[in-house]
A and B are shown apart, each in its own frame.
Chain A
Amino acid sequence: EVQLVESGGGLVQPGRSLRLSCKASGFSFDDYAMHWVRQAPGKGLEWVSGITWNSGNMDYADSVKGRFTISRDNARNSLYLQMNSLRAEDTALYYCVKDSGSTWQAPYHWFDPWGQGTLVTVSS
């Protein structure tokens, strides 16, 4: 069974940093692209970032570009999201999501499955 378990969320002050982790199991992690998707309180889903199977290509939503960095460690079956210069509007439940293929930017791919999410709250 494919499992994605996020961790690292919590309460952080504006301007500070936080690193999210996602531990994957039940599939060949190094064969698949991965994503982070978030949901702010009372809002819809927002794609945050994606990374290819070999970390050769990654990109970000404009709302986080220049502040967030996605990375992965295939030896540890883990995905990460380094979040710097956090803002109140980054408050959200962050989901780790498996791509259906090896590249994150393929229009014919889809997201499946999703983790349960880790909550990030940015507040003073």
Chain B
Amino acid sequence: QSVVTQPPSASDTPGQRVTIPCSGRISNIGRNYVHWYQHLPGTAPKLLVYRNNQRPSGVPDRFSGSKSGTSASLAISGLRSEDEADYYCVVWDDNVSGWVFGGGTKLTVL
């Protein structure tokens, strides 16, 4: 079992707001930055949020990240069909001295 956990799935209808949680420990999320990636099948994962809540240029402001304690979350507002993808959080873990990915959340737009 991963030291950083995400729900395997999430869903909502177009136009709605969905939140994807990422839960960890003091050694990872509690002390370090969380980054988020969108992964569509057959494509390279794409950076959505870095350093908890920073958006790279070109990423719509519908995507936002936050962190509190040992948990982080990615929020997607104004849900669109093209948002249907797998979403991963990743964080450095001080205990394992390595990078740890959450298990990923498959988002379905109903």
Query: Which residues of A approach B to under 8 Å, CB–CB?
Result: 35, 37, 44-47, 50, 59, 61-62, 95, 100, 105-108, 110-117
Interface size range of chain B in the complex = 20 to 34
Give Cα distance in the complex from A62 to B98, angstroms.
9
Known contacts A50-B99, A59-B97; A45 and B39 CB within 8 A of each other: yes
Measured in the bound complex, the distance between the Cα atoms of B100 and A116 in whole Å is: 21
CB A102 to nearest CB in B, in angstroms, measures: 16
Residues in chain B near residue A37, CB distance under 8 A: 101
Contact B44 A47 (CB under 8 A): no
Among A46, A107, A112, A115, find the residue whose CB has the most chain B CB atoms closer than 10 A.
Answer: A107
Across the interface, B101 reaches (CB within 8 A) one of A45, A108, A110, namely A45
The answer to whether B90 touches A111 (Cβ under 8 A) is yes
With a cutoff of 8 Å between Cβ atoms, the chain B residues found around residue A62 in the complex are 96
Q: Give the distance in Å from the alpha carbon of A37 to the alpha carbon of B90 in the complex.
A: 12
Q: Report if B31 contacts A (CB, 8 A).
A: yes
| Min C-beta distance of B55 to chain A, whole Å | 12
Name the segment of B10-18, B45-53, B66-74, B75-83 touching the other chain. B45-53
Q: How long is the Cα–Cα vector from A103 to B50 in the complex, in angstroms? A: 17
Contact (Cβ within 8 A) A46 B101: yes
At the interface, yes or no: B19 with Cβ under 8 Å from chain A? no
New contact pairs (14) apart from A45-B90, A47-B90, A47-B98, CB-CB < 8 Å = A37-B101, A44-B88, A45-B37, A47-B100, A61-B98, A106-B92, A110-B50, A110-B51, A111-B35, A111-B37, A112-B56, A115-B44, A116-B44, A117-B44
Distance between B10 CB and nearest chain A CB, rounded to angstroms? 15
Residue B104 lies at the interface, judged by CB distance under 8 Å to chain A: yes
